[in-house]
Structure formats: C-alpha cells, structure tokens
Structure 1
C-alpha cells in the first residue's frame, strides 16, 4: 500500500468530503462540514498561507492536516500543524508523512515556532514528543444532551436578550464584544488581534454561524455578554465563543445568554451540543458543568521550536 500526501483540490467535492470525514471520525465532537471547509478555503487570508493536506492510500483519504501561519499573532513567526488520521486507518505512515510535509512547508515560509493540537491519548502524545514537540496547555471537548437542559432562566430587570440576527444592519458592536473577550482567552499562541473585515468573513458570514441562535445580553443598549452558536443542519449545535465584556463580569450574563440559546436550539430540533474550554478557564468550565456538559475528550497544545 502506497500512501501519498497532497494538497486538496480547490472545489473538488470528493476531497472536501474525504477531509471532513477524517475530521469527523477523529474528532466527532467538532462541527465541520464539506461546505464549511470549502468556505474556509475560499476565505482564509492570504497572509495565513493556509494549506490543507490529505494523506491518500489506494484512492481513499485516510488522513488530513490543517497547515498555515498564525499571521494575526504578535511575536515570532508561528505556524499551526493539526494532523488527524482516521482511527480505523492508523499505522500506515499517514501521520508521519503529513507532519513532514507540513513542517517543510512552514519552515519554507519562515516559521520558527510550530503549534499543534494533539489528542490526550498515550499513542498520540508519544507521536508528537518523538518529533520534538513539547506539551503545553490543554483544552477539553464537552458534550451536552439537550434533552437534559436545566430550566430556562428568567431575564433580570435591565437586561434584554437579542439574537445576532437583530444586528444584521450593523454587526460591529458584536465584533467589539467578541474582540474584547477573545483577547482575554488563555492560550499558547498569545492573543490574536481581530480585524473587523476578517471577522465578518471568518465569523459573521461563516456558513456554520447560526445568527438566530447566537444570543446577546444587552444592558443599557450595549452588548454585554454573548454566546456564539454554530449548527450543521444535522441536529448538532456548537458554541463558537462565550464571553462577557470586562465591565459586566460577575453578573451571570454569559450564563443567561447561553441558557436561552440552548433552549431555543432544542426547540429548533438540535439534540446535542458541543463546546471546548481551556483547562485553565475555570469560570467557563463551571458554567458548562452547571448546564450538564460532560468532558468527552482532551487535547494538548504541543509546541516545537525550529532551530
């Protein structure tokens, strides 16, 4: 059996479906569709030099890699290498070939630091460490059965709940809230500097973004907290981001927004919800535990410094 690594063909449906299938089997708690992948390919900023790779064996796609530069992060040039192999197609050399191709590509772009998400399983961690990567922060994937939601919370006086659809004429206030909360997220790569035009493409217009379920708590006319919803049309709901502006923290507003979003998601036919949290993000983990989310997997952020 010969395994080859290649870039996916732009607009080639079989490649998009093969890439999405690998990701879905390796990370069943991560929402991705062939259409969302196609959108990402068309809208990635040129500065990211994004290059999705697949490993193919006898005409079947058995591995995938997301490769590119973290162009919005300050400091030294950083690249990302996220490699996944179908769990039923391991030990065929696909992961090794994908990592090698990704590293050569990023080194050629001048990257001096590589970051990779690795499932927290002995074989996966050993694979990364054997290639010079060192473990850093970790993050949990969490799942919630929407049949087991806690009761709908009452909206307190002075707070109004709106959806992203209500901001269709001017979504900039949502961008400003997202940018402020994202800047405070823990992570290995450092805070990214969000750009409004890029946010419009990457978040606001993304095909997985569900504006009807994305919920914002508004106080005195100002968006104070929000939860961003993503859906894939198959009953799966994912949280893109949940956060509160610094001036409004400690009032339970993010929890309120998420509570109402999840209830409306269930009414819309969603049956399960997924989210992810850095293991050091205690407040958000506590909120998700209150909702009934359970940890279903953990990923570790591995880092390799290129000599």
Structure 2
C-alpha cells in the first residue's frame, strides 16, 4: 500500500513539474486594411467609419494587429479612439509622417515594446523608395514585443504589398523572408498584412512552402471565412479570394481563424477590406 501511495505522489509531482515548465497561452492577432481617407468615399467617409471601426476592434478584443492604408490623421484618430493601444510605424513616403502607414497596434497593458524598425519593399530598403515595377512606395513595419505576464517575446511584421507591380510583389516575398531571418532569427514571428495576392497565387505558395511561415487559415482548427477579404464596400461582391493574410512561425498553433464581416447602419462596412483575426496559442517554457 505504501509503495502505491509513493507512486501516486511521484506521478503528481511529475505532472506539477511539467505544468511549471510549460504553460500554454493565447493571443488574438489580426490584420486590418482600414481604407485610406478618400474624399470621394462620401457614403463611406472616414468620419463615419472611424467610431464603428474602433468599437469593432474593442469588441473583438484584438491583442495586437497590423493596419494598412493609414494616413497620419487617421493614425491619430485611431490612437485617440483606442487609448489602451500603443502603435509603431512611419509614413511610407518620407519615413516620418508623409504617406500611408503600415502601423502595428498593440495592447499596452499586455505587451511591452522591446525593439522596432521598418524597411522599404524595394532594392534600397533602408530609405524611402519605390521598388521594381511598383506603382508607389511600400513599407514594412516590425516590432519585438514581450508579454508582460509571461515574459514571452515575439516579433510582429506588418506589410502592404503593391497593388500593381507583379514583380514587386514577388520580390517583396523574397525580401520579407530574408529580413525576418536577419531581424528575428529563430524567434517566434507573426507576419500580417494586405499582400494583394490570394491563396490561388504562386507567391502564396512560395510563402507557405518557405519553411518559415504558414497561413493561419490553413493551421486553424476552426474557421469562419464566409467570403474573401476584399469587399470594395459592395455587399453583394462574390469572391472567396483572401488577399489579407496572417502568417505564423511554427512556434504558434491556431485555435480559430475568422474573416469579420461586421456591418453597420443599412449594411455598410467599416472598411473596403474585412479584418482577419486568429486566436493563436504559444507555449512558455520556464
């Protein structure tokens, strides 16, 4: 009887030891092309969309998310409407405030910013520039973040690939993969953004077979993807093409993936892209 009791105690001690060594945690990541403030968008003006978008982000409780097409005044508006979030990023035209940002927002209560940086998607990535056959300058924003509770550290890269240049999109895939290796090394990585190519494109295959990253959609145990990610402010647009993606290094597992098709008013959308969200888990070794 004593031997059996000792065996049970030993097993309990082992289980507690394993629990102390490895702990699973969840993080909600997202990507959101918010649509730049276009004066011609009278029915979908930014002033109307901003409060809805801010409420949507708060309701869905994003922990960290990438944004695209953000002009300086839109960045200021989002920051004021989302006081719990910090952000990083620069204007793509001058590396300061001119042009669209690919800003990364993060919950300041949960994460501490450790490092940050940016580079342009071009042959001269260290300075504001237009690459290859791109129509306009494109920038990647990255940050290293630490979970304040667990100490877990990871990198978040956020991009907006060119909408015209086929070569630019192809070269941007290569450049981003190279920079991820240079900047993050073997650390956990999230890559989010508007890639302007869908899951049917060869560049998608290049990324998904790189050995570095996998699409959260493919990894998810549960998916909600009733339509593609671009809506053009058109309620009846029919497409299954996902051009906004969340890519993850093998450090993460995906519980749920969703394309959020929320509307407001009489069927309006907060943006001409739907936000993409993924609940991911990671293990902290102690």
Compute the TM-score of the two structures, normalised by the length of structure 1: 0.34
Higher relative contact order (CA closer than 8 Å, sequence separation 6+): 1
Compute the TM-score of the two structures, normalised by the length of structure 2: 0.36
